[in-house]
Amino acid sequence: MPESEALRSGHPTPAAEGYSMPPEWAPHQATWISWPHKRESWPGKFEPVEPVMVDAVSALARSETVRINVLDRKHEEHVQNLLSGKADAHRVVFHRFPTNDAWCRDHGAIFVTRPAEPDRLLALDFRFNAWGGKYPPFDLDDAIPARMAAALGVPGYSVDMVLEGGSIDVNGRGALLTTEQCLLHPNRNPALDRNAIEQNLRDSLGVRQIIWLGEGIVGDDTDGHIDDLTRFVSEDTVVTVIETDRKDENYIPLAENRERLNGIRLSDGRRLNVIELAMPRPLTFKGDRLPASYANFYIGNGVVLMPVFDDPADEPNRLKLASLFPGREVVAIDCSDLVLGLGTFHCLTQQVPVF
């Protein structure tokens, strides 16, 4: 497949060429991160962010390579100094790929694989418009997928649709989770209806079944990303966040999503096994609700990075995740300050599968 082909009518799609998106728990060759640098994303609280990132990279580097986008040589030296003595330097690779912001899950390449030679790994380059044009400029972020593909020496494939990695989750067996609030929002792909969006997902990611939930959590500026709501943890099991306080503004949308999950059967007829995670108490900044969610964990080769919020629900939820990932250490890291940027570990990472 030629590099940077556009997904268009009459041209072989990634799915037609045998590609599909592996689940996050499949083996990684690396995790990719864009190191935080935009202070406006964490107004008045940028200083606590980098120590949290150091803890995350240190945990990940115990079992896989961590690739980090930095602005330039000076920024690289700064991050190297932060990581010195805390993360395995042999497992940290820097790329001087400047970004507008840190959310690599959304602006990075989405990787698909196939068993056949050649080109067993393909970097999908969806369009990125900063969550519906909310945070210009975003030209540097939109250029990152092609730069990632070039750095790895793998072909890229341009998909003519706006899509962020945090808006989808797959089980590796043909099912994809997403939300109507995000993918059907007119600020992404106003010319595409639900059927066209579903077809593009099938063609590019090699999925067969699209599972639609409704709205996301309050405070989520991404218009309802699935990675704050419901995540696959195995082929037939998801975890989903719930709110038990009927007065909380998240109660109704999360209850409605939970009800939808009750009726889901996978394409092979299996019922979806649903594990509930309690939401933390509301976190706010200057009166605005922050999107604090335990669903925003990231599954590494040997660890699961779990955001916690100095909340009574932290440990019960950690134990639930630990029971679902017996071969991995669930590393709980306080994200009370990190979430001020309106995302945590899943938003900040993108996996590169082994191929």
Contact 91, 31 (CB under 8 A): no
**Range 320-339 average pLDDT:** 98
Distance CA 84, CA 74 (A): 15
Active-site pick, 104, 182, 335, 347: 347
Which pLDDT score is estimated for 153?
97
**Range 294-299 average pLDDT:** 98
Contact 324, 239 (CB under 8 A): yes
Which pLDDT score is estimated for 83?
98
How does pLDDT run across 125-155, given as a tens digit for each residue? 999 999 999 999 999 999 999 999 999 999 9
Which pLDDT score is estimated for 3?
43
Domain boundaries of the chain, sorted by first residue: 5-353
Q: What is the CA radius of gyration of the chain?
A: 19
Distance CA 12, CA 53 (A): 40
Question: How many other C-beta atoms can be found within 10 angstroms of the C-beta atom of residue 11?
Answer: 12
Distances (CA, A) of 100 to 8, 166, 282: 29, 17, 29
Angle ∠(352,77,56) on CA atoms, nearest 5? 45
Mean pLDDT over each residue of the chain, to the nearest integer = 96
Between 6-10, 39-43, 80-84, the lowest mean confidence (pLDDT) is in 6-10
Which pLDDT score is estimated for 355?
86
| Helical residues (DSSP H) of the chain, grouped into ranges | 49-60, 73-83, 104-107, 130-133, 139-142, 144-152, 180-183, 194-205, 251-262, 314-324
Contact 213, 122 (CB under 8 A): no
The pTM score is 0.96
Kindly tell me if the per-residue pLDDT of 351 is higher than 60: yes
Kindly tell me if the per-residue pLDDT of 309 is higher than 90: yes
Between 9-18, 115-124, 131-140, 263-272, the lowest mean confidence (pLDDT) is in 9-18
Residues above pLDDT 90, as percent of the chain: 96
Distance CA 93, CA 107 (A): 19
Which pLDDT score is estimated for 317?
98
Asked about 182 being catalytic, the answer comes back as no
Which pLDDT score is estimated for 110?
98
Kindly tell me if the per-residue pLDDT of 350 is higher than 60: yes
| Helical residues (DSSP H) of 155-295, grouped into ranges | 180-183, 194-205, 251-262
Between 4-8, 180-184, 202-206, 284-288, the lowest mean confidence (pLDDT) is in 4-8
Kindly tell me if the per-residue pLDDT of 314 is higher than 60: yes
Kindly tell me if the per-residue pLDDT of 12 is higher than 60: yes
Contact 297, 349 (CB under 8 A): no
**Range 194-220 average pLDDT:** 98
Confidence of residue 9 (pLDDT cuts 50, 70, 90): very low
49-60 and 73-83 are packed helices; what angle lies between their axes, rounded to 10 degrees? 70
Kindly tell me if the per-residue pLDDT of 181 is higher than 70: yes
Contact 311, 241 (CB under 8 A): no
Which pLDDT score is estimated for 11?
74
Contact 138, 107 (CB under 8 A): yes
Q: H or E stretch including 28?
A: strand 28-34
Which pLDDT score is estimated for 143?
98
Q: How far is CA 121 from the centre of its chain?
A: 19
> Was domain 5-353 assigned CATH 3.75.10.10?
yes
